[in-house]
Structure 1
Amino acid sequence: MKLSKLNKLITLEFKYDPAVVSAVKDIPGARFKRDPLEPYWTIPVRSLDIAIKELSLTPGDLYPDLTEYIPPFKDITAEIKPDRVKIQGNSLDLLIKSLNSLCKVEYPFQNMIITKVLGKLIYHKNNIAVYKFPPGLKQRVADFLHKAGIPLKDHFQAPPPQKYDFKINIQGRPYQEKAVEDIVNKKISRATLVMATGAGKTVLSAMITARLGVNTIFYTYSSDLLEQTVAAYEKLFGCRIGQISSNKFDIQPITAAMVQTVYSCMTRQDEMWELLSGYLDEVDLMFIDEGHMLGADTIYAVAQQTNPYYSYALTATPFREDNKELYIEAAAGMNLEIISEEELIKSGYILPVKVKVVPVQHNKYKGRRYTTIYRNQIVKNSQRHEIICQTANRYKGRKILILVKEVSHGEALARITGATFIHGASKNRKDIIQSFIDGGINILIATSILKQGIDLPDAEVLILAHGGSSQAELLQKIGRVRRPYPGKSFGIVVDFLDYCPNVSKDMLKSQFNRRLALYKKYNFEVLDTPENIPNCRTRY
């Protein structure tokens, strides 16, 4: 459960759980808010003590947004190291429970809510206890102890000495230069570096690498991103970059690695793992590309196994639909915004976005379950495919990306439009992507392999053929058309308002409303909204 402050109210955000809802309803003044992005409850500040009791909360649950209400812990002292804290004093039970709350993740799995604590108590005898946590949570734990009025002695770990004199062939942007200086001067050894798509996270990582001059590993989760990173780094550094993938094992002072390959070696514990684990022990700087993926067990496990002195996640979207954001922080550290989206637009580093809404009225939904409705109304709907084709024709002459989720959907659209379609198993996808970049192809249909990471600077129109409601995925996809290019002044996003007037709980329309709320939240210019579309004229 996440607690925050909203004017004179306190918000409670949590995944639906009947027992929790029942308990919240008993709190005086509790009100439910149907926000399209994330529904939440509010309670008056005066009811906070009752909420803490009814919901079995601890002072740790008040961190980080309600720290003013954290009660002081008296007669307790603490000493902290990179991955553990020693606490000493009387009545430590409440503080230990608070540390568990600080390190707790609650996420949905099937029809259940799973609770997992990333830290653990490793010693408790008399009035002394030692609590161990992932290194990325050190700042969180230290800050909480400070807010709780507990005297804290920090046993700082000395940084590793510089081993290499890396040279980089680029002059960074002002905000990139500042970020490097802040990391070095403020001794920020762990952080989730947040910057919008197109802000230059690969270049920033290279600048940090050059400045620190230590053994470096750069993790990616796809072969396309691996090759793109290696090519960019070799151009920037003018030297060979190591690669660890399914078909290559070459270790260099700077090495790019596939997470899946490292995880596979780790689980097999074979001869290759002996070599690889020895190398990882010498790594002092780690980057995790698309850091929001750290909620996945494999990526998190690899990050924890590496555990260098310097650790940075790179992402434009430091949040997850499954509430697993704490995994990102545990692996890399707290969020550090490098530059705001508004500043990037103002400086011309990324482009503003215009959203065109195309209404599609369905006379009847076939099926009741979401998966059935999605398959029938989105994936297999030939009339809707024709509307998408007509929409693409309106932007003829521009570089167009059409994104789908399922291969069969992409194949159907490719047959109608005559456009090229690629997916994860396409053997020639790299050549096709290059042809799109070079101008040989003007319309490209793709699955989620293009949702993030791949640079397509002249892509101007993004057609979202698939619907859906994931905020992080949507922002990543929109990032494909926000990169500046000669003659391009903004990115165009085409979205489809699928709806059925005869349905009381319209799942497809609800998903669109969620996407619309996100467009408004990020100040995208929405050219048409449902209330401004006369009779929602596109029907079948």
Structure 2
Amino acid sequence: MTVQGERTRAELWNLLAERPGQNKRQLLAGLRLRGLSVESAREVNRTLYRSSNLFVHDGATPPRWHLTSGSRSAGLSISTTVGPALPRCYRGREPRAWQLEALIEWRARGRCGVVEAVTGTGKTAVGVLAAAAALDAGEKVLVLVPGRELLDQWYEVLRRDLRNTRVGRVGDGHRDSFDHYPILVAVVHSAARRQMLTWGTPGLLVADEVHRYGAPSFALALEPEFDARLGLTATYERSDDGLAEHLDPYFGGMVAGCGYQRGLEDGILAPFRVAFLGVDFTSDERRRHDEYDERAKVLRRRLIEVHGCPEEPFGEFMAHVNRLREGSHGDHWAVRDARGYLNAFSKRRQLLADCRPKQEALSSLTSVLAAAGRGLVFSETKASAEQAAAVLIGSGIRARPFTSGLRRADRKDRLAAFKDGNVRVLTAPRVLDEGVDVPQAEVGVILAGSRSRRQMIQRMGRVIRPKADRRPAAFIVMYVTGTAEDPAQGAHEAFLGDLTHVAEKIDHFDPGTAGSELLGWYYEGRTEVR
């Protein structure tokens, strides 16, 4: 064995002596932090399997490695010349392999970049570790968040994970500053209205849900005074030009992250199954939908061809339409067409969200939700969330709506009741998509399919955290046949592309599928894991 190979084997011994049960990717990250130029996890695997007198695995997928009893007693540990891997002020959990790899690449790129990680894999910890290292170096740290829910969550996490560090807040009634706090958590609206960092002061900006800050008003909070910049998101995409115009120039593009495949390989995401469940409109609903749909299509063409709205991306088209609606340009026909399009678009979307057959299909899923323990039902509107809760309650399921209209204390109470099992299902519109720390759920049901890949990924991330018994999560997407929601019409194309190679199974169920068949599908997944 070469000198490099001997060093690799010895350092693997040290890593497993310090923390048994690591998989190949975690060990690879540990070796790199200790200064070894190991190319891949495959090289780590070769060393482990060739040294069966030293290392043994538990047979899991992926295998978790331990020292053999003989090698533990032999005492092969060697001293390392590499300093401590974690910042001095950090006292959080041991980082995952992908988190360390992301930080290594981010540092190598001059401490600039965006980390994209599937919801539930721990992107917040990447930000906390980067912040801790910056604080150790005497820098100021600003954490940008989109709203007060994340303001509270980041504040609590930083107070918990940073030793002897005072954490300030800006927004939601708080007006702290770097004059008295080395680290601030700020709501983006508030940060965009003031100068946060003095020129010449070294600082790190951590932007959580960074995709949100591609809007021109939010981009004002991305101060050039911060030399170090870290963006965090589950999906680094927008429906407008915000990435190219604001985010990429500021952060410098993406660095290593954690997708579905990596999360499954490392055991930090639960395996999952996906079902697409079709429903048919009633005859009256179909007639109204087709009227709204045709009117929206005609007006969209006119807005593009006559009034100069960009055809793509869709977010830019909608931004232009909304500006035309205001009428400041004095073009009466443009105002009429813009308002007519938005009216037809809104009515079509509401009809898809609130149609009666979806509520009837939800009733057929009550046996699945009852068997699952805890479930989440995602709707498009507050009214459909409340109606869904009523349907489930009528079927004996302890369900509650979770909407933006609730007071903050009531929202906390409902999340606590969901966590301890007093509430079995939460029904919610977009309020649960991001920014809320939701307790573990086993089943997710989408009543209104979104054309946004980001929204679908965020919602799925709410149910694919690992389960205690390692059973797969279940994700059920409802859609109205023959509409923009229908996969046969091209709906969810990007989302399905993400799932094809990582989902345990993707099934399609026709309208009228019996609840017993859906329950059998759910139990099939639970049986296979055993």
Q: TM-score, normalised by structure 1?
A: 0.61
Query: 1:514 — aligned with what?
Result: 491
Note the 1:21-36 alignment, pairs <5 A: none
Percent of residue pairs identical:
19
Once the 2 structures are TM-superposed, how far is the Cα of residue 463 of structure 1 from its aligned partner?
0.6
Letter of the aligned partner of 1:439 in structure 2? G
Which is worse superposed, 467-476 or 483-492?
483-492
Letter of the aligned partner of 2:507 in structure 1? D
Equivalent residue of 1:426, what SS?
coil
Note the 1:333-412 alignment, pairs <5 A: 333-364=252-283, 365=286, 366-367=288-289, 368-369=291-292, 370-379=345-354, 381-397=355-371, 398-412=373-387
> How far apart in 2 are the matches of 1:372 and 1:288?
35
Letter of the aligned partner of 2:169 in structure 1? Q
Letter of the aligned partner of 2:454 in structure 1? A
Equivalent residue of 2:155, what SS?
helix
Once the 2 structures are TM-superposed, how far is the Cα of residue 510 of structure 1 from its aligned partner?
5.7
Once the 2 structures are TM-superposed, how far is the Cα of residue 171 of structure 1 from its aligned partner?
2.0
> How far apart in 1 are the matches of 2:484 and 2:118?
29
Once the 2 structures are TM-superposed, how far is the Cα of residue 317 of structure 1 from its aligned partner?
0.8
- CA gap 1:411/1:280 in 2 versus in 1, 3 angstroms: farther
Q: Which of 92, 101, 113 is the aligned partner of 1:169?
A: 92
Unmatched runs of 5 consecutive residues or more in structure 1? 1-163, 267-272, 501-505
Query: 1:180 — aligned with what?
Result: 103
> How far apart in 2 are the matches of 1:405 and 1:363?
19
> How far apart in 2 are the matches of 1:178 and 1:467?
34
Residue 249, structure 1, aligned to residue 148, structure 2 = no
Q: How many residues align?
A: 354
- CA gap 1:280/1:193 in 2 versus in 1, 3 angstroms: farther
Query: 1:322 — aligned with what?
Result: 240
Query: 1:205 — aligned with what?
Result: 127
Q: TM-score, normalised by structure 2?
A: 0.62
Equivalent residue of 1:507, what SS?
coil
- CA gap 1:182/1:520 in 2 versus in 1, 3 angstroms: closer
> How far apart in 1 are the matches of 2:435 and 2:112?
22
Note the 1:515-534 alignment, pairs <5 A: 515=492, 518-523=495-500, 524-529=503-508, 533=510
> How far apart in 2 are the matches of 1:498 and 1:345?
31
Once the 2 structures are TM-superposed, how far is the Cα of residue 485 of structure 1 from its aligned partner?
3.1
8 A contact 2:281–2:357 mirrored in 1:
no
8 A contact 2:144–2:206 mirrored in 1:
yes
Query: 1:240 — aligned with what?
Result: 166
1:183-221 CA-partner distances (Å, limit 9, x unpaired): 33x252210112222221111111112223211010111
- CA gap 1:190/1:283 in 2 versus in 1, 3 angstroms: same
Once the 2 structures are TM-superposed, how far is the Cα of residue 511 of structure 1 from its aligned partner?
8.5
Letter of the aligned partner of 2:370 in structure 1? K
Query: 1:421 — aligned with what?
Result: 401
Query: 2:31 — aligned with what?
Result: none
Equivalent residue of 1:302, what SS?
coil
1:315-352 CA-partner distances (Å, limit 9, x unpaired): 12111223432132123221112344312211101123
User: As a proportion of its length, which structure holds more helix?
Assistant: 2
Once the 2 structures are TM-superposed, how far is the Cα of residue 457 of structure 1 from its aligned partner?
4.5
> How far apart in 1 are the matches of 2:206 and 2:414?
29
Equivalent residue of 1:437, what SS?
helix
Q: Which of 222, 228, 232 is the aligned partner of 2:153?
A: 228
1:374-421 CA-partner distances (Å, limit 9, x unpaired): 323431x33421221321332204211011121111122222223211
Q: Which of 134, 144, 154 is the aligned partner of 1:219?
A: 144
- CA gap 1:199/1:388 in 2 versus in 1, 3 angstroms: same
Equivalent residue of 1:519, what SS?
helix
Query: 1:432 — aligned with what?
Result: 414
Query: 1:464 — aligned with what?
Result: 446
8 A contact 1:300–1:331 mirrored in 2:
no
Query: 2:219 — aligned with what?
Result: 300
- CA gap 1:520/1:375 in 2 versus in 1, 3 angstroms: same
> How far apart in 2 are the matches of 1:477 and 1:222?
18
> How far apart in 2 are the matches of 1:525 and 1:514?
21
> How far apart in 2 are the matches of 1:457 and 1:247?
27
> How far apart in 1 are the matches of 2:90 and 2:450?
44
Equivalent residue of 1:497, what SS?
strand
Residue 285, structure 1, aligned to residue 204, structure 2 = yes
8 A contact 1:312–1:333 mirrored in 2:
no
